[in-house]
Chains A and B, each alone.
Chain A
Amino acid sequence: MKRKIHINKVNYESIDYKEIKNFFESEGFLVFLEEDPLLRLDHKKLNEIALFFAKSRILNTFKRELNENPLNIEVEYEKRNLISPNRKKGIIYDGYKLVKIYRSFISKELVNIKDFVHFFLTDQLISTFSDRWHLRVIIFSFPVLISIPGIIYAPAKDRDYYISSSLGHLPVYKEYYLTEKDRRITKIICAYIIQGIFFYNSILEKKEFEFCNDRHCLLYNSHYQRELIEIQFNLNFCDKHKKEWKKIVTLKNF
């Protein structure tokens, strides 16, 4: 029986979902592409989730506190945004809080991670707190949450980019930077889904999920956008992880 990957889509013109599906099917998975669950909320659920989103906002990147007491305007903003197919992206949310919301959309019969792996893509910016809040591309949890604007904004760009942008110029080497409409994002999402599959596998094997130190392996933890483009985009493994990936894809279930 093939392993099943559930990918919950988000509306983003640069993502080719067919390519993602074909890629993982060619690796031997059964892929289910699901529609964005936030676009089909009933009135009650919309109110609840809008409030939860508003409470999950980060107000100050140096303070752990979230927006515990949102004003009505903030909740109304979330409502408008949630039901919009082209959502605004100006707010940063606590990634783990959003994971909780997305978890509630997984039906009970699909919870077993031995048989199913769940990915939710989001068009919002997510972050996690350590010494301060840091933007993130991916939250390794149940489900795995991947932020598309996170791919564009979380990994730092070269100094040149920030200097030229602050002066109102377009960056010179555009190929080094991802933008909202960049078609390379599709392959990078594939790389992060693979990371997520490794994460699920590590849970099943009761060992800690670790990134790879090899800069040619897609399990390398890229901190810069250039790395993302050079490493995750190329979808290569190091020898060790190539073997592990083969083992994962030939397992009967997770």
Chain B
Amino acid sequence: MFEKVSEKDVSKAITVSFLRMFESVIESDVIVVGGGPAGLAASRELAKEGFNTLVIERNNYLGGGFWIGGFFMNKVTFRAPSQEYLREIGIRFEEASPGLYVTDGAQACSKLIAAASDAGVKFLQLTKFDDVVIREENGNAKVAGVVVNWSPIEGLPRQITCVDPIALESKFVIDASGHDAFVVKALEQRGHIKIKGVGAMWVEASEDAVVEYTGEVFPGLIVAGMAVAETFGLPRMGPTFGAMLLSGKRAAEIIIEKLKTYVKV
């Protein structure tokens, strides 16, 4: 039934294809740390505009917490006006109460991943953020990429995993790593920034705030999604996802605007 190929052909196809993709993102326009809803929405918008965009995700699967709505129940909710984004990428939803929409986690998440992929986003899964690359530009520090390693490395005994990480460069980095806010925290460790920690849960107020505070927190670094709440001490949100999508979209808009006038020093 199937074409006859040897094992070496399969291995070669995987390796060559992966390396071609990998080489193309060693220097990219934007690296998005975190493949959850905010990171996927941001990367989709950027790739749609033709920017070379890479998402790194420490898990094998993309989507983050978007598969599950809360308490292991696979329905995810959105508040108006974020349902318009669902409509745009073809996610089915129904109105649970005025202005509150509910959808299947599986369909919503897989559609969002597909939308990002269709737009041309490249992905590195099982890849863990290790550190931030900082450059001096005109006397000022700027985030210029990330240092990454395979995430399984973390789970192995140190004596057998002395594996150095590698660096990837980009014009901008988006921290969409959720409550972990890995990139922001790496900057904090170096004394560049002080984060404020997430506040108590308050769905009604926090979604607006997360979108409103999405922005460039340090030259070259944009925060999106729950990393915004972590950075600015905003109330936590609970199992509702509209702000993740709209925050991702806003992060992309900010970068697109900046890339129009970007001059690499």
Contact = CB atoms under 8 A, between A and B. Distances in A.
Interface of A: 57, 59-61, 67, 69, 71, 73-74, 76-77, 80-81, 88-91, 125, 168-170
16 contacts: A57-B233, A60-B233, A67-B196, A71-B217, A71-B232, A73-B213, A73-B215, A76-B215, A77-B212, A80-B212, A88-B208, A88-B212, A90-B208, A90-B234, A168-B102, A169-B97
A69 B100 contact: no
B216 interface: yes
Contact of B233 (A67, A80, A81, A89): A67
Contacts of B217: 71, 73
Given A74-B232, A168-B100, A170-B97, A91 B77 contact: no
Contacts of A74: 213, 232
Nearest to B235: A90
Contacts of B232: 71, 73-74
Contact of B199 (A60, A77, A125): A60
Contacts of A91: 205, 209, 234
B209 to A, nearest CB: 3
B206 interface: yes
B193 interface: yes
Among A57, A61, A69, A91, max chain B CB count under 10 A is at A91
Interface string B181-200: 00000000000011011011
Nearest to B212: A77
A60 B194 CA distance: 15
A88 B100 contact: no
A189 B100 CA distance: 30
A89 B102 CA distance: 24
Nearest to A152: B204
A166 to B, nearest CB: 8
Nearest to B214: A73
Given A73-B217, A90-B234, A60 B212 contact: no
Nearest to B77: A168
Given A125-B205, A168-B100, 12 more contacts: A59-B199, A59-B233, A60-B233, A61-B199, A76-B215, A77-B213, A80-B212, A81-B212, A90-B207, A90-B235, A169-B97, A170-B98
Q: Give the top 4 A-B pairs by smallest Cβ distance, nearest first.
A: A90-B209, A59-B233, A90-B205, A73-B215
B189 to A, nearest CB: 17
Nearest to B200: A61
Interface string B217-253: 1000000000000011111000000000000000000
B157 to A, nearest CB: 38
B35 to A, nearest CB: 24
A183 B108 CA distance: 38
Contacts of A61: 199-200
Contacts of A168: 77, 96-97, 100, 102
Nearest to A170: B97
Nearest to B75: A168
A88 B214 CA distance: 14
A80 B250 CA distance: 15
Nearest to B223: A73
A17 to B, nearest CB: 26
A90 B206 contact: yes
Nearest to B210: A90
A61 B234 CA distance: 11
A55 B136 CA distance: 30
Interface string B49-66: 000000000000000000
Contacts of A60: 197, 199, 233
Nearest to A77: B212
A69 B195 CA distance: 10
Given A60-B233, A67-B233, A89 B205 contact: yes
Contacts of B197: 59-60
Nearest to A166: B238
A74 B212 CA distance: 9
A86 to B, nearest CB: 11
A170 B217 CA distance: 37
Contacts of A71: 193, 217, 231-232
A73 B212 CA distance: 9
B21 to A, nearest CB: 33
Contacts of A80: 212
Contacts of B234: 90-91
Contacts of A125: 205
A160 B155 CA distance: 45
B205 to A, nearest CB: 4
